[in-house]
Structure 1
Amino acid sequence: MTSKRCQWVDEKDALMVQYHDTEWGHPEHRDQKLFELLSLETYQAGLSWRTVLHKRQAFRQAFANYDLEQVAQYTEANIEQLMQDVTIIRNRLKLQATINNAQAILALQQSGQTFDQWLWSFVDNQTIDHHVINYQDVPAKDDLATSVSKAMKKIGLKFVGPVTIYSFLQAAGLINDHEMTCPYHKK
């Protein structure tokens, strides 16, 4: 079996290669990092992953490196300022969702559960390996993503439809959809 990266990776895009090799599909357990990955997936809705990835640093600056407590304090004035920032994706609803989602994750933490614990309970703290042969066969969503999406909406998260959540679960390592021929597929 020849070893090569997943088909979706543009080998000419160093940022995409780095993201694939060092983050995508690696089990993530830090709430702040999970919040960032969720936010990136919400920004991607309707756009290319390349666009979002290349604006990631600007988003980190705009959202205080995704510090939950700081982002949760953002006001309408902050949103107006962000709407003028040409370095990010200026979609008011997505920006508002980022702030809302920080607040919802903090509320979860204040109830005594981390976002990490809550999220990983859906997979019994074990990555689901789909043993992907061809990335084109990977679904846009599945029953797990649909369940997590519904549960996220119940705790107050926004912009968390099943397709967005499937991508988030892949990114955060709850689902391993690295192709079997990819050297980053954990055996």
Structure 2
Amino acid sequence: MVRPPPSTPTNSDPQDHVILLDEDGTARGLAPRATVHTATTPLHLAFSCHLMRADGKVLLTRRALSKRTWPGVWTNSFCGHPRQGESMEQALARHAGHELGIGIHSISEALPDFRYRAVDASGVVENEICPVFVAETDEEPRPHPAEVAELRWVHPQELHALVELSPWTLSPWAVAQLPALHGLLRPSSGGSS
């Protein structure tokens, strides 16, 4: 089980930054995470994670209503930004702990070259090189209310159907990622809960 170290800074910490990138993905500096997302957000490094449990269900989360971008939108399990000097595995563990109150294991990089740009209803831009990971947990999430408004464990086939039938209900990055993950999110054998 991967967990963040006890001394990990929180998201309100001055160390909370994003890694700015050139078009070819080369790091070119840092910017404060709290102010980087605007109508002209520069390209930066991020990640997305789709979390599974033993019965094969995938965790879908609804972003907190207080989030600056895409408030209240359903999306993948969690996402975030690695910090300078932090491995992706460390960043994933930090965010899983902060946003969902859980540890994770069996982390695998599913879409290493995923990249997207999207504009939300308020005009704020996301502009990220965003590797996509699949991981597992044996714990029940205890979501941080400033990050997650609701959550639901769903069968992968239900998630793929949602993308096909109602893509407007999900974040643009989840809609773009899920078709490419079709074979990687294994179908569950259990019933609905």
Structure having the higher helix fraction is: 1
Structure having the higher strand fraction is: 2
Answer 1 or 2: higher relative contact order, Cα 8 Å, separation at least 6: 1
Common topology (TM > 0.5): no
